[in-house]
A and B are shown apart, each in its own frame.
Chain A
Amino acid sequence: MASSVGMGRPRNMHLYVSVIVLALVAGGIAADRPAGGRSWTGSISAAASPLVRFIEWFGELGAFCGRVARAAFTRPFEFRELISQMESIGARSLPLVALAGAAVGVVLSLQTRASLGRFGAKSMLPSIIIFSMIKETGPIITALVVAGRVASGIGAELGSMKVTEQIDAMEASAVDPFKYLAATRIVACILMLPLLTVASDFCGILMGWVSDTLAEAISLRLFLNSGLNGVTFNDFIPPTLKTAAFGAIMGAVASFQGMRAKGGTAGVGFATTSAVVISSLMIIVADVVLVRLILVFFPA
């Protein structure tokens, strides 16, 4: 009976969480608009205005992504700029991601050890650390940490280029900024996020073992054998690859917010903040949806 109750709950929970987070994203986008210029004509329009702005924003984002996708698959390709962005987004995020993964591994070990001790299930600790890191904690922590660093960087850089007419200068030189600036950054995010997630997983598991063995000596070999027992590719590959979608979200949102910046330094600040806030919220929403899809298509 207990299991049948438990079977129904996660499905509803996913729905509730999705609705709540979607509302948060809508609120975040509406609240992140610069103030001024509002004309409230009544309570209905007052209530509808943020929703309309939210829908408008999504429409514009969709059109932006369509244009970037077309530009990305049109010759000539900007391979040099892509490599440069992969280095900037991937290699330079590695220390941050490794540190975040390692810290989470230690915390997981510390927190879970005490809880498992109460039930006499300390032997499960390696499995819990490894499953937790590769299935959810590694991917989402990596995505949020990289979103903080990369989305703010892209938003600020492109926003600054927009308000100083550098993007106009690029267009005037018959160079498509959607290809040179946006497509290269988005593709670099898509390619780098899964690799950074693997690095984060590795550091988290390694530091989880270090923390574990400091509390109660266990060899790395035994820790891995015990923890990886029962782990399949379905536990590792889909959660790691889902971060490519997180990369697409952060790259697209940050490029979009940056390339529509206006109003000088205030506009650059707004583009930077909104790039991080919106991409982080959208990553969390996407995670809910992707986890559900992974559970459907890659059942344990």
Chain B
Amino acid sequence: MSVATNPIVIRGLQKSFGAQMVLNRIDLTIDRGKTLAVLGQSGTGKSVLLKIIIGLILPDSGSIEIEGQDIATVPRDRLNEIRKKIGFLFQNAALYDSLTVAENVDFPLARNTQLSREQRAQRVRELLSKVGMEGAADKLPSEISGGMQKRVGLARALALNPEIVLFDEPTAGLDPITADEIDGLIAGLQKERSMTSVVVTHDIHGVRFYSDRVVMLREGTIVMDGTFANFEKSKDEFLARFLKTAA
């Protein structure tokens, strides 16, 4: 597989915090337009992996190529150009709490596009409508529920029409019905836009629903890489236990 066909290529990635090795020699190539689900127990470095992919955390060693450019070594202005192609939905949505819902979605548009105020307002309306939040445009994040915040976070992540979207536990802390709605949104967007997605999650139901490929992390290394069907059929005791308890 050539670099040009794979939007994300990770080679020999290592990351430690103090004496604790969080990611140990990770090699991962993600195909264009596919959805990769990253599973694993808490503290196995799943969120760290996402933050390294977008350049929020620097790796100790190894390379992370996004569209052929190593994110750890590119200059800051180039890094920002790469980031414009990546959407990131944070675990707790990370909405700017002093801005309204509409201003949150408008924030990346106002600073990274040449759109007029009216064009931006139209785009914000479209994005909020897509995630079912058009009625909450003028509310502050503190005035809406956790599930609604996730939806707004998703609208903000999609604002710049990214080619890659990273989801950090999109359904964590949500009730089953809201979690199902978020899973449906992710699957719908995937179908509609053919985006390359990496989803860090514990939500087995969602993984079955939208993932093309599943990777399981354990103690900083990949212990399984395959389809969800492979995952279900695995005889490995740890994988079977994870699947049974998470389902």
B133 to chain A, nearest CB (A): 17
A172 in contact with B54 given A76-B111, A165-B90 (CB within 8 Å): yes
| Contact-residue size bin, chain B (C-beta under 8 Å from the other chain) | 20 to 34
State whether the Cβ of A39 lies closer than 8 Å to any Cβ in chain B.
Answer: no
State whether the Cβ of B122 lies closer than 8 Å to any Cβ in chain A.
Answer: no
Complex CA–CA separation, A176 to B108 (angstroms): 11
B-chain residues with CB within 8 Å of residue A172 when the two chains form the complex: 54, 56, 83, 86, 88, 90
* Residue contact A173 to B108, C-beta cutoff 8 Å: yes
A162 to chain B, nearest CB (A): 11
> Contact partner of A166 among B54, B96, B160, CB < 8 A?
B96
- Which residue of the partner chain A has the closest CB to B57? A168
> Contact partner of B88 among A76, A169, A175, CB < 8 A?
A169
Given contacts A161-B97, A168-B56, A180-B111, 15 further A-B contacts (CB under 8 A): A165-B91, A165-B92, A166-B95, A166-B96, A168-B90, A168-B94, A169-B88, A169-B95, A169-B96, A171-B56, A172-B56, A173-B107, A173-B108, A173-B159, A173-B160
Complex CA–CA separation, A165 to B57 (angstroms): 13
State whether the Cβ of A213 lies closer than 8 Å to any Cβ in chain B.
Answer: no
List residues of A (135-173) whose CB comes within 8 Å of B's CBs: 160-161, 164-166, 168-173
* Residue contact B107 to A166, C-beta cutoff 8 Å: no
* Residue contact B94 to A175, C-beta cutoff 8 Å: no
* Residue contact A175 to B111, C-beta cutoff 8 Å: yes
State whether the Cβ of B44 lies closer than 8 Å to any Cβ in chain A.
Answer: no
State whether the Cβ of A47 lies closer than 8 Å to any Cβ in chain B.
Answer: no
B-chain residues with CB within 8 Å of residue A161 when the two chains form the complex: 96-97
Complex CA–CA separation, A200 to B118 (angstroms): 43
> Contact partner of A169 among B55, B90, B111, B160, CB < 8 A?
B90
State whether the Cβ of A2 lies closer than 8 Å to any Cβ in chain B.
Answer: no
* Residue contact B80 to A174, C-beta cutoff 8 Å: yes
B-chain residues with CB within 8 Å of residue A170 when the two chains form the complex: 96, 107
Complex CA–CA separation, A160 to B98 (angstroms): 12
The 7 closest A-B pairs by CB, nearest first: A169-B94, A173-B108, A165-B94, A174-B80, A172-B88, A174-B83, A174-B84
Chain B residues at the A interface, C-beta cutoff of 8 Å: 51, 54-56, 80-81, 83-84, 86, 88, 90-92, 94-97, 107-108, 111-112, 156, 159-160
B75 to chain A, nearest CB (A): 12
Q: What is the predominant secondary structure among interface residues of chain B facing chain A? A: loop
- The 24 listed contacts between A and B (C-beta, < 8 Å) are A76-B111, A165-B90, A166-B94, A168-B51, A169-B88, A169-B94, A169-B96, A171-B55, A171-B83, A172-B54, A172-B83, A172-B86, A172-B88, A173-B107, A173-B108, A173-B112, A173-B160, A174-B80, A174-B81, A174-B84, A174-B111, A175-B107, A175-B111, A175-B112
- Which residue of the partner chain A has the closest CB to B83? A174
B-chain residues with CB within 8 Å of residue A169 when the two chains form the complex: 88, 90, 94-96, 156
A-chain residues with CB within 8 Å of residue B97 when the two chains form the complex: 160-161, 164, 166
Complex CA–CA separation, A161 to B95 (angstroms): 9
Complex CA–CA separation, A161 to B94 (angstroms): 8
Complex CA–CA separation, A171 to B86 (angstroms): 11
B51, B95, B96, B112: residue with the most chain A Cβ atoms closer than 10 Å: B96
A-chain residues with CB within 8 Å of residue B94 when the two chains form the complex: 164-166, 168-169
B-chain residues with CB within 8 Å of residue A176 when the two chains form the complex: 80
A-chain residues with CB within 8 Å of residue B108 when the two chains form the complex: 173-175
B-chain residues with CB within 8 Å of residue A171 when the two chains form the complex: 55-56, 83
Complex CA–CA separation, A10 to B120 (angstroms): 62
A-chain residues with CB within 8 Å of residue B86 when the two chains form the complex: 172
A-chain residues with CB within 8 Å of residue B107 when the two chains form the complex: 170, 173, 175
